[in-house]
């Protein structure tokens, strides 16, 4: 027979797993809506920026567009950009265009907030 403490830990684990699965499925659905497969890792700068954008939009949806930070995400995007430049996958101007488009999308979040009563 299991102890109450053991049963409680299992219950918390199941709830967390259900919570994560539910929210991951919503994230996947949002990606599908925008034609981005976020189920697999990004393979280049364009995909990395798209993935970050989908995740950021999902977070903003939950927090109703409240101010939030991207943290160290630009460092990761820079790693993708340097690798793609070295491989010749994208030119510097193409990568700059991806970043500019992403910045414009980030600025639109403030317009997505619902009006307070």
The tens digit of pLDDT for each residue in 24-69 reads 888 888 888 888 888 899 999 999 999 998 888 888 777 766 667 7
Is there a contact between 105 and 53 (Cβ–Cβ < 8 Å)? yes
Per DSSP, helices labelled H in 34-91 are: 45-62, 73-87
* pLDDT at residue 85, rounded to an integer: 98
DSSP label at residue 108: G
14 band by pLDDT with thresholds 50, 70 and 90: very low
Please indicate whether residue 100 or residue 115 has the higher confidence score (pLDDT): 100
40-72 in b/e form (b: 16+ CB < 10 A) is eebebbbbbbbbbbbbbbbebeeeebeeeeeee
| pLDDT for the residue 112 | 62
């Amino acid at each position: 027979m299991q102890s109450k403490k053991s049963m409680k830990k299992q219950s918390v684990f199941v709830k967390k797993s259900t919570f994560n699965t539910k929210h991951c499925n919503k994230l996947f659905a949002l990606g599908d809506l925008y034609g981005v497969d976020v189920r697999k890792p990004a393979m280049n700068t364009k995909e990395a920026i798209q993935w970050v954008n989908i995740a950021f939009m999902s977070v903003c949806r939950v927090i109703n567009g409240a101010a939030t930070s991207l943290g160290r995400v630009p460092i990761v995007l820079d790693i993708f950009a340097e690798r793609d430049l070295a491989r010749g996958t994208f030119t510097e101007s193409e990568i700059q265009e991806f970043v500019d488009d992403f910045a414009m999308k980030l600025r639109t979040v403030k317009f997505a907030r619902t009006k307070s009563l």
